[in-house]
Amino acid sequence: MSMHPDQNGQFVRPPKQRIAIPIVNPETGQPLAVANGAKSQPPVAIPFSFQRRADQVRADQPRKLAVGDAEAAIQPVPPNSSDQQPNGSSQAAAPYPVKHASSARPAERHEASGKQQTQAVAAPSVRGKIAIAHPPTDEYLLKQRIDVYAKSFIPAKFKKVNELPSGFVYVTAPLKQLHYDQYAREAFAASLLPPASVVDSITAREVPTAMAAPVSFEPTNYQRYFLHHLSEEISSQRKDYESQALYWHDAVVEFGPDQYGQLGADLSFIVPGLLENSPLVEEDDEIHLRQLRQGDDGAPPPEQWDFRSGTWITPWTYCTYLARVKAVVRARETLIVRATGLTPDTSEIKLNPSSPTPLHQHRLRFNVQFVLNKARVTPQEMALSRVQASLQLAIEATYLGAPASNSLYWFQSMLFPTTADSEIQANLNSGILAQSFFDASLNLEQRVAVENICNQKYGVMPYLISGPPGTGKTKTMIEIALQLINHVPDVSHILMCAPSDQAADTLADRLRTCCKIDEVLRLNRPSRSFAEVPESLLPYCFISADRFVLPPFEMLMKYKIVITSCRDASILINARMTNQDLYSVEQALHRQIHPTDLNPPRQPVRLHWDALLIDEAAQATEPEALVPLCVVAPPAEAPSLVFTPQVVMAGDEFQLNPRTSRGFTPLRLSLFARLFARPVYANHPLARAFKYTAAQKKARILSYSNIVPPTVVPESMMLPILRPAFSNLIRNYRSHPAILAVPSSLWYHDTLEADAPKRSTDRLLHWEGWRGRRWPVLFHDNDSADDLELEGGGWFNPGETEVACNYAQELAASGLVQQRDICIMSPFSAQVRKIRQALRSRKMWEVNVGPTEAYQGLEHGVVILCTTRSRKRFVADDQERGWGLLGMPNATNVALTRAKFGLIILGKRELMVEDEVWKQVIDFCDRNGLVADVKGVPTSWHSDMYVNEEMRTRLELNMVQKDRLRGR
């Protein structure tokens, strides 16, 4: 490029030209114009940066059109258009030929790009839609009505293939499967097993609205209520899978027989987003493949007319392969799939002996469709059917006077507890804890919870442990399990569950150091990958034929603690290993041994499963939590029980809700959170909301709280009162008080105590980057604009990326922390990728970067929190989809409570203060001088004489008083 001197004699490069390209119909190649009732207008121009990115799109990755509503307002230009060009000629086409990126070959795209650089067209104004420079501003997006959430554009010739009949269908059998009926028959005689319960399934329904939503939520319509919302969730998940389908996708195919001699092939292909579970794919999931034909040069062949659909399509082999996933390599976003029936003949491959590629390995093109795994839904449907049947029997016994035992009301007490399920406390507690503890480091609140559960004096209802961040929920649950097994005579077998496999692994890993190898079983579904299980836990799993399986019946009955996920608890239901099934078998055997005993003695029944412990219960949907409940539920017909099964749940309803596909659904309210809101828990005088008087709490209860404290809480409560079936953990062992002050006030009624060791929390106090009071919290006002990836549609903020990496570099250079102590998180996956790339360019390999939801239950020394969003226009859309941190109090709570000794928040003040939660955070930073402006310069900080002391949180006031005593 030539250089020319400016007026000062300095040589400068000429400014880059912005190239405007017309919008064309990707199917016909004809230019599009706005239909305004008059003559056709010149093509709408878009910025060069948009065009440049489109040029880089490969043929197998169709680019995303972000035109949205504007798409409906444009139509093809008629061939005989008489639009006059500036040079006076009549021309309907674009001033230069442009092919759609998804159909143009690389050479053609390069040639077109060269022409575009020499034939720039000024950006016209069409109906007020003005093309401006990249990145697009909020005003530009509003004027252009660009839909940033629009689906990726796929040429119709590829999509139509998936809409055709399946043709020849080749089914791949499940690669890993457990035959539950065979397992049950080997354990018991077929005559002893009761008939399987009838399950009302909704997975086959195509129209979720066929089941109308119940007007109210109550025991009589419990199943109907959740089936309706579960049906909507399934429909939403199916749409997500449809939107994540891959078209004209490249796959490496290796032909060969499987272990059973069936002919087929193994396919390996990249799945964008697999690392973030988008789509969610696991081993042995079903995936549908349709092979597309290719030309000799690998390009798509000419389109052909399909008489059945009446449209032009890309030629394909008319073979549909219902394949199975063999392996998921998330780090490389790669799937390995087995497709039975995919052979050189069915794939129409011409073998070339002289080819350097092995004869059994080829690169083919497929349409890939992801399918919802019914195994994730069926256990919930089965549990709902069982629960509704039990609730109905209890209702009939109550209102129709039918004979009933106490066991009949067990589900009603677990799901709809009232004061009738509680016990009365008439005397004050002695305050002395009588039992010894396995973990001597337990604090008072944890020990009280353990002793309450072991004594079982609170009634027949779930015992709830509210554990805010860093207060030791899992530690308490481990102690409860050990105490029940070793010190409670009537407890012999416990089922421990968690919503996720990782959380269940954590439980097993902590228990293995306290129990013998023949006492603990980590139960996994057969399809779970060995790579996902920590190596230290493999000896505690039962493995056969290279898969996880159930141990033999005699061995299973000997385990004292069985640990699994809520979802995999269905293995025990399918294998007929529930309390109900075991009791039925026992009674049937008694009848066979004593056929003439018409009136057997009605002695108390001893069940196998004596307790259910669910950790992280607030992250499980209510139908998911029902699955393990069905395992331990006592038989309704049992006359009396030696020991009524206990249910203990630990969680935090103010952290992440259960993950669902739909943003607004009752499924996001966990059973744990719903129970805590019931009057028997929420209105108890010892509830967390009533720890302080109403006057102390008046200014600190947010409007979204549904718990209203009484006007006066007596200093000395009058007995008798109900024994609390809950415990509130209050001692945080993770964070510096400054990090904990605002979350404690916002979500936990200002009850948390900062008990982390000072040698840990004060580690970074001398870093020169802190402001004001020099507490380890900093809010950096960052006004850089967020941006949208055209390839993938993810939000990112380049200015925020730079600031975050600078802070990480400064912290590591200070020598006070190591790179591995630093974590950078963002709620947007695209921003996470940008930050990772920037850190790699700076050779900062050990800094941890990830999405906010991935850090639930984890902690880091320093957290740099990137809120990313800077456009008010998209906040409502984010909330509808469950994205971002604005208007998402639970996700915000998780983000703010991961740090131990340093928290840096990056965000746009103007936007964040409109959110009530974030306003409280920024106000805290403002009144203590913990703020840097957009340039990183400390903002002015006034003395405490301008601060309203009533607005300070309890932990904040304690720190301020300590600073004053030190003369600061």
| Residue 438 or residue 428, greater confidence | 438
pLDDT tens by residue, 560-594: 999 999 999 999 999 999 999 999 999 888 888 88
Report yes or no: 801 and 831 within 8 Å, Cβ to Cβ: yes
Tell me the CB-side half-sphere exposure of residue 755, using CA atoms within 13 A. 16
CA distance 323 to 6: 65
Residue 606 CB coordination number (10 Å): 13
**Better pLDDT: 311 or 419:** 419
Output the pLDDT for position 664: 81
Give residue 155's pLDDT: 86
**How buried is 311 (Cβ within 10 angstroms: 0-12 exposed, 13-18 middle, 19+ buried)?**
middle
**Residue with more model confidence, 41 or 881:** 881
The pLDDT tens digits for 163-218 are 899 889 999 999 888 888 889 888 888 788 888 777 777 754 444 444 566 667 88
At residue 312, the pLDDT reads 85
Summarize the confidence of residues 248-259 as an average pLDDT: 91
- In order of 46, 191, 382, 793, 881, the CA distances from 66 in angstroms are 11, 63, 42, 9, 18
Distances (CA, A) of 20 to 81, 570, 928: 21, 58, 50
The predicted structure's pLDDT at residue 907: 94
Tens-place pLDDT, residues 806-830:
999 999 999 999 999 999 999 988 8
Map residue 632 onto helix, strand or coil: helix
- pLDDT value at position 622? 97
pLDDT of residue 558: 95
pLDDT at 388: 94
> pLDDT tens for residues 682-715?
999 888 887 654 334 434 433 333 444 444 445 4
- Which pLDDT does position 368 carry in this prediction? 96
- Secondary structure (DSSP) of 533-571: S-GGGGGGS-EETTEE-PPPHHHHHH-SEEEEETTTTHH
- pTM of the complete model: 0.81
Predicted confidence band of residue 380 (pLDDT cuts 50, 70, 90)? very high
Q: Give me the pLDDT at residue 757, please.
A: 92
Tell me which fold the domain 190-376 belongs to.
Answer: Elongation Factor Tu (Ef-tu); domain 3 (2.40.30)
- Least confident residue range of 102-106, 549-553, 812-816, 940-944: 102-106
Instruction: Using pLDDT thresholds of 50, 70 and 90, give the confidence band for residue 965.
Output: confident
Termini Cα distance of the chain:
60
pLDDT tens digits along 603-640: 888 999 999 999 999 999 999 999 999 999 999 888 88
- Which residue type occupies 141? L
Burial tier of 458 (Cβ tally within 10 Å: 0-12, 13-18, 19+): buried
**pLDDT tier for residue 106 given thresholds of 50, 70 and 90:** very low
Identify which of 7-11, 323-327, 455-459, 878-882 has the greatest average pLDDT: 323-327
User: 3-state class of 822 per DSSP?
Assistant: strand
Could you read off the pLDDT of 480-494 as tens digits, one per residue? 999 999 999 999 999
Task: Work out the pLDDT band at 72, boundaries 50, 70, 90.
Answer: very low
Q: What is the pLDDT of residue 208?
A: 44
DSSP for 3-65 reads -EE-TTS-EEPPPPPPPPB--B-TTT--BEEE--SSSPPPPPPB-HHHHHHHHH--TTSPPPP
Q: Are strands 264-270 and 424-425 parallel, antiparallel or unpaired?
A: unpaired
Q: What is the DSSP string of 845-856?
A: -S-EEEEGGGGT
The reported pLDDT for the residue numbered 204 is 47
Domain ranges of the chain: 17-153, 190-376, 404-595+603-728, 733-965
What DSSP string describes 739-786? HHHHHHHHHSTT--EE-S-HHHHTTTTT-TT--TT--SEEEEE--PPP
Domains 404-595+603-728 and 733-965 share a fold: yes
What pLDDT was estimated at residue 644? 93
Q: Tell me: pLDDT of 139 over 70.
A: no
Of 32, 271, 285, which is closest to residue 792 (Cα–Cα)?
271
Q: What is the pLDDT of residue 434?
A: 64
Chain mean pLDDT for the chain: 80
Given CATH 1.10.10.10, say whether it is the number of domain 404-595+603-728.
Answer: no
Condensed to tens digits (0 to 9), the pLDDT of residues 826-839 reads 998 889 989 999 99
With residues binned 3-state (H G I as helix, E B as strand, rest as coil), the percentages for the chain, rounded to 5, are: 35, 15, 50
- Summarised one tens digit per residue, pLDDT across range 16-34 is 333 334 444 444 455 433 3
Topology adopted by domain 733-965:
Rossmann fold (3.40.50)
Per-residue pLDDT at 961: 87
The pLDDT assigned to 154 comes to 82
Higher pLDDT, 902 or 399: 902
Q: Looking at the predicted structure, is the pLDDT value of residue 57 above 80?
A: no
- Predicted local confidence at residue 245, as pLDDT: 93
The pLDDT of residue 13? 36
Q: Is the per-residue pLDDT at 301 higher than 90?
A: no
* pLDDT tier for residue 67 given thresholds of 50, 70 and 90: very low
User: So what's the pLDDT on residue 593?
Assistant: 86
Neighbouring residues of 870: CB distance < 8 A, sequence distance ≥ 6 = 782, 783, 784, 785, 786, 797, 908, 911
* C-alpha–C-alpha distance, residues 348 and 168, integer Å: 14
